[in-house]
Structure 1
């Protein structure tokens, strides 16, 4: 089960899913034109901005966004959006996004 954040809206999963299905990138305009989400383009843009501020999307300029590693992990049920942390094998939140890939020796 996906672990959404308290800051997330009902539309956020749909936005992330659409991004993944469209090679991991897109714009609010393209998403609106797809007909998948029946809210305004302005509202989609606001949600994309919030998703980017919380690390699930990355803004790449000119209104375009790409799915981040954390966004991909969230869709795969491997990331807790509330805790901003990857989920460990025991079902709990593990290392934060900034800790991924570090190897302390």
Structure 2
């Protein structure tokens, strides 16, 4: 299990796990339908994760997990490093 980062919402981990399990580019709408959260909330959290360099906005409205995101999920990235990357 990865160490929780204080600024992260519970859905953030689910978003990142979805991308880790499905190596595809997905819109927040499709992502929300698959993880059971509101589309607008998922869209906001995807932007936040992108600002923290855990997701990458690859095209208009599409996201994918970054290498930093993979490292975090694999426990190879210290949560303190992400605290310093807290999005605005």
Counterpart check, 1:20 vs 2:29 = no
Q: Which runs of 5+ in 1 are unaligned?
A: 86-105
Q: Which runs of 5+ in 2 are unaligned?
A: 84-88
Q: Which residue of 1 aligns with 2:86?
A: none
TM-score by length of 1: 0.70
Please list, as runs of the form range in 1=range in 2, the aligned pairs for 1:38-53 lying within 5 A after superposition.
Answer: 39-53=37-51
Runs of 4+ more than 2 Å apart: none
TM-score by length of 2: 0.82
Q: Which has the higher contact order (CA 8 A, sep 6+)?
A: 2
Whichever of the two has the greater Rg, that structure is: 1
Q: Which residue of 2 aligns with 1:5?
A: 5
Q: Which residue of 2 aligns with 1:103?
A: none
The size of the alignment, in residue pairs, is: 84
Per-residue deviation, 1:84: 3.2
